[in-house]
Structure formats: structure tokens, C-alpha cells
Structure 1
Amino acid sequence: MPASGPGTFTTAQATGQTVGTSGPVRRYQVQVEDGAGVPAEQAAAEIQVIIADPRSWAAHGKGRFQLVAADTVPDVTVKIATPKTTDRLCASVGDTHGELNCEVTGGIVVNLKRWLLGSPQYHGPATEYRHLIINHEMGHLIGYQQHMACPGAGKPAPVMQQQIKGLDGCTSNAWPYTREGAFIAGPPAP
């Protein structure tokens, strides 16, 4: 996995149906830093599946989402970037230390390291941790600016908990909602 890259991106030439039950449509593009070793179309397909999942934001009236290609102006850009590029792109919102992801004006920056390797604090495969990355950062974009804390030992961590910084007794969780449709909440994080 490269620690740095050229800072240029390839946009996935992929489109999808609008998913979601209500709310504004947010058109999103997926871009991958050149040389990252992740095909942009593959990442876009995976993100589209995450967003369309019945446990995700779109299934619960928090907005509608549509994957769009490079010839459409997006509302949101999801960039998968090397750790050094992530640090640079996220600098306006804080130091990501080559480890974290961030939400910035107009988009999400996903750290390639986290995309490929997951998080040591998250008990599950890297592919499942990707669900958490997308749901957590999309949560910020749709208005959940406040992080949440663990609601109690043994309970699922809220998707808005910064699980990469520790679970505080909760169990790993990548989704804002349960299979039954209940929102997984916690108290505001300090």
C-alpha cells in the first residue's frame, strides 16, 4: 500500500439508480488517487452497495443518493486517497495523522490505509470497516455533526462514534440502523 501518491484522482465512470425513501437527492462521485491500486469503478460499486443497504441512511428517510459519473456535477465527492494525500486534503478540519478519514466541504476523504486494512479497534474485516467509514462520514454530510459515545457496555457502537479511537465497551458496528430499523444512538461524545 503506497503511503503517498501524486494527488491526482481518477473518477469512476459509473452511475446508479437513486436509492432512498425521501429527502433531498445527493449525487455523489467516487474518485481514487492515481497509483493507489484500487480500481475506481470497483470502489464505486462497493460504496453504492453500502449506501443502498437497508441499515444505511438512505433506507430511513435521511436522504436519497445517486452515484454519478464524471460528466455530472456531484453534490458529494468520495475520494479514496493515500495517507499523505488524506492529511493534506483534511488539513482544514484537523490533523488525520496518516490514520483517519474526514468530511470536508463537498465531500468525504477516505484514507487508503483504512480502506484496505480496516482499523485495529474495529472487530471485523476491512470490508466491513469500509461500511463504517462511508456511513460515518455520510452521517456528517447529512447533518450529524456531533460524534456519539458508547451507550453502554456490550451494546452496538453508534455509527457516529469514532470507533477508530476505541469502542469504550461497545461492540463494533458499521450501520446507523439495526436490521429491524431502530436507530443506534448514544450520548453526545465529550
Structure 2
Amino acid sequence: MKSQLTGGLAALAVFAAVGGAVVAWLPSDAGRTSATPTPVESPSVESPEPQRTTGTPEPEESSAPPSPSTTPLPESGPGTFVTAPGGSGRVGKGTPLRYRVEVENGITISPEDVAAQVERTLADPRGWTADGHSAFQRVSSGPTDFVVRLATPATVDKKCAEAGLDTGGKVNCSVNHYVMVNLRRWVLATEFYTKDVVGYRSLIINHEVGHFLGHGHVTCPGKGQPAPAMMQQIKGLLGCVPNVWPYDSDGRPLTGPSVP
């Protein structure tokens, strides 16, 4: 979400002048209790990397997504990360954007599972590669163009605040070359995706990576049409139907009027 915050509550602020964007949904969080992070040995601390000057706050999985009733949702973590091992081949045309997937220490979701979801999303023919020039490749070492991080709410808040974003412990953001995914959103999704949590994860990735590629927010193009991936769907679908992809199966962009 380029230079904007996504969300439906007063706690979500939009900062058009800074390099970031956020996405959030809150009602299903009610009644959830926080869990203490599980201790981990020898946490892996991420290496500092140069910041980009520009910023932004369905496929089947090999295994069932974690159950919201059992997955611990710690509010904070150590701020250190484990990198998903291995990598992927290039998908799309052109020079690939290299990305790394990391999960904060103490989160009980494996980095491999998160990386598999991100890979499938970015490789899907309905994703950003359908634009004819975007390409991606996951790596676990070496230079990267962006990093996808699954992190606790407090850690997301801290990183997003570096760009002046107030994520309120509830939302995702994308700033500079970091896509920060709030653990609560990854596990609980939104009210429009309670029956498609996996699909919502693809929406998070497509929306935030879309900002990284330079795409801004759009709105619903018309009643009954697919909600664009770059629409702030969490604020409401405005007559559109849920959709997590930026393109349809015929390679046509699913978009709408630009939002100032």
C-alpha cells in the first residue's frame, strides 16, 4: 500500500508523505489472549542492509494453516529473526527481484511454511508476474531487494515507526524494502476472509509487494466485481466481492479508480 495505511479503525492513520503503508482488520481479535513467546536458542539476528529510498507501510498449502484457536499470538518478541532456508527458481520475466523470508524468534509458525506461501503467491500466474516485466526469486543469503518478515505486533510497530507509521499493534506495513506482516493478521485474517485465511495471506503479500513495485491504492470498480488487490479491502468491499489477485486468469488487471 503505497504511502498509506490500510485499516478500518480510528487507531489506523494514513501517512501519505512517508514511505510506508499498512493493512489491518480488528473485530475477530476480540477475546484472543496473548501468549508468552517460546524461548529459542541462539536466535539469528538479521544483518543490516541498505534501506531503499522508496517505500510503502488460495493457492493450496501443503499442510493446513495453523488454527486460530491454538496458534499462540505473542504481542511482542525479541526482534531477531530466523531466515527460511533454501530458495526458489526465478518466476516472471526480466531481472528477478531477490527476496528473503524471515520469521521472528518465538513465533511457532515455521519459516519454511511462510516461505512456501510467499513463493506460491508470487509465482501464481494471477500475481504480479502477469504484468510482463516483474520477476521474483527467493534467496536465503546474499543481496536482497526486499525482505518479507512475519513478526509480533510490537516488532511490526517498531519497524514501521521508523517511517513514521502508527500500526497500533494490529496491522501490517511495508516500509522501504521490508514487508512487515503482523502475526495476528497472518493467523486471524479479516472478517471478509474468515473462510479463506490462506487466500488472505496471499492478499497481504500481493498488496504490500504491489506497493514495493510502485502501485497505489484503488477502490471498487463496481458492484459484484472482484475487489482489486490494491484496494483497502479491510475498510469494506464497497459492493465488490473478495479477491486476492492483481490479475485474472486471462492476464487482465483487476483494478479500479485510483484513491488519492
For the aligned pair, the TM-score class normalised by the smaller chain equals: over 0.9
Give the distance between the partners of 2:246 and 2:240, measured in 1 at CA. 14
Query: Offset at 1:184?
Result: 0.5
Residue 116 in 1 paired to residue 200 in 2? no
Query: Which residue number in structure 2 is paired with residue 180 of structure 1?
Result: 250
Query: Offset at 1:180?
Result: 1.3
- Residues 21 and 59 of structure 1 are in contact (CA less than 8 Å); yes or no, is this contact kept in structure 2? no
Query: For residues 84-139 of structure 1, what are the alpha-carbon distances to aligned partners after superposition, in whole Å with 9 as ceiling and x for unaligned?
Result: 11111111252112222111111211111111111113364111100100000010
Identical-residue share of aligned pairs (%): 47
Give the distance between the partners of 1:95 and 1:9, measured in 2 at CA. 22
1:96/1:45 Cα in 2 relative to 1: closer, same or farther (>3 Å)? same
Query: Which residue number in structure 2 is paired with residue 5 of structure 1?
Result: 77
Could you tell me which runs of 5 or more consecutive residues in structure 2 were left unpaired when the two chains were aligned.
1-72
Could you tell me which runs of 5 or more consecutive residues in structure 1 were left unpaired when the two chains were aligned.
none
- TM-score, scaled to structure 1: 0.93
Residue 55 in 1 paired to residue 126 in 2? yes
Runs of 4 or more, structure 1, over 4 Å off, are none
User: Which residue type is aligned with residue 176 of structure 1?
Assistant: P
Query: Which residue number in structure 1 is paired with residue 64 of structure 2?
Result: none
- Residues 62 and 142 of structure 1 are in contact (CA less than 8 Å); yes or no, is this contact kept in structure 2? no
User: Which residue type is aligned with residue 33 of structure 1?
Assistant: E
- Residues 121 and 165 of structure 1 are in contact (CA less than 8 Å); yes or no, is this contact kept in structure 2? no
Give the distance between the partners of 1:130 and 1:35, measured in 2 at CA. 20
- Residues 13 and 41 of structure 1 are in contact (CA less than 8 Å); yes or no, is this contact kept in structure 2? yes
> Which structure ranks higher in relative contact order (CA pairs < 8 Å, sequence separation ≥ 6)?
2
Q: 2:217 aligns with which of 128, 131, 147?
A: 147
* Deviation larger for 98-107 or 129-138: 98-107
Residue 87 in 1 paired to residue 163 in 2? no
Query: Offset at 1:46?
Result: 1.4
Aligned length: 187
Query: Offset at 1:29?
Result: 0.1
Query: Which residue number in structure 1 is paired with residue 227 of structure 2?
Result: 157
Query: Which residue number in structure 1 is paired with residue 89 of structure 2?
Result: 17
User: Which residue type is aligned with residue 5 of structure 1?
Assistant: G
Greater radius of gyration (CA): 2
Query: Offset at 1:170?
Result: 1.0
1:50/1:56 Cα in 2 relative to 1: closer, same or farther (>3 Å)? same
Give the distance between the partners of 2:179 and 2:164, measured in 1 at CA. 12
- TM-score, scaled to structure 2: 0.69
- Residues 153 and 169 of structure 1 are in contact (CA less than 8 Å); yes or no, is this contact kept in structure 2? yes
Give the root-mean-square deviation of aligned CA atoms: 1.4
Query: Which residue number in structure 2 is paired with residue 73 of structure 1?
Result: 143
